[in-house]
Amino acid sequence: MDRPLLLIDVDGVISLFGFDHAAPPAGRYQLVDGITHFLSAAAGRHLRRLAAEFELAWCTGWEEKANEYLPLALGLTGPLPHVVFDPSERPTQAHWKLGGIDRHVEPSRPLAWIDDAHDEGCRSWAAARPAPTLLVTTDPAVGLTDQEVDRLLAWVARLGAGNGRP
């Protein structure tokens, strides 16, 4: 079996917001195209751990910009593939990323998607996909945590064991 694909949003997963600035989480500010982002200190470690079991890909409005800033900042090797979004394709009843994801990922490929903004449309889409699909929703003030990484690794282990759809 090919490794499952892990789609990674940036804002709310790696670039945190909404936290108490008097007591920020571990991380640092980085300027990206003139905009200040607060990058989680743990994100790079988490993604390197996940890269052992998943093929990583960006799934963010940053698109190719993610590769200009994040691999070096997070200690990741090389550029990652990224989902391309068509700005003219914004379905009224579905999450704006679903069309791009469907074009990027074969329906038969197992897929996990980390994002801070999954909605009911995303959950319905995931349930209807023919391949195993896991949505992991983060708190944008905290980002990707050890618990979510453990959940993703347990899911991929179950896939490898042939237990079908988690």
81: containing domain: 5-160
- What is the average pLDDT score of the chain? 91
How do residues 137-151 score in pLDDT, each as one tens digit?
A: 999 999 999 999 999
Asked if the structure places residue 74 within a domain, the reply is: yes
Asked if the structure places residue 166 within a domain, the reply is: no
The number of domains in the chain is 1
How do residues 41-79 score in pLDDT, each as one tens digit?
A: 999 999 999 999 999 999 998 889 999 999 999 999 889
For residue 46, give the CATH number of its domain.
Answer: 3.40.50
What CA–CA distance (Å, rounded) separates 28 from 42? 11
Helix residue spans in the chain (DSSP H)? 43-51, 65-74, 98-104, 120-128, 146-160
Residue 161 has which token pair? 């064991």
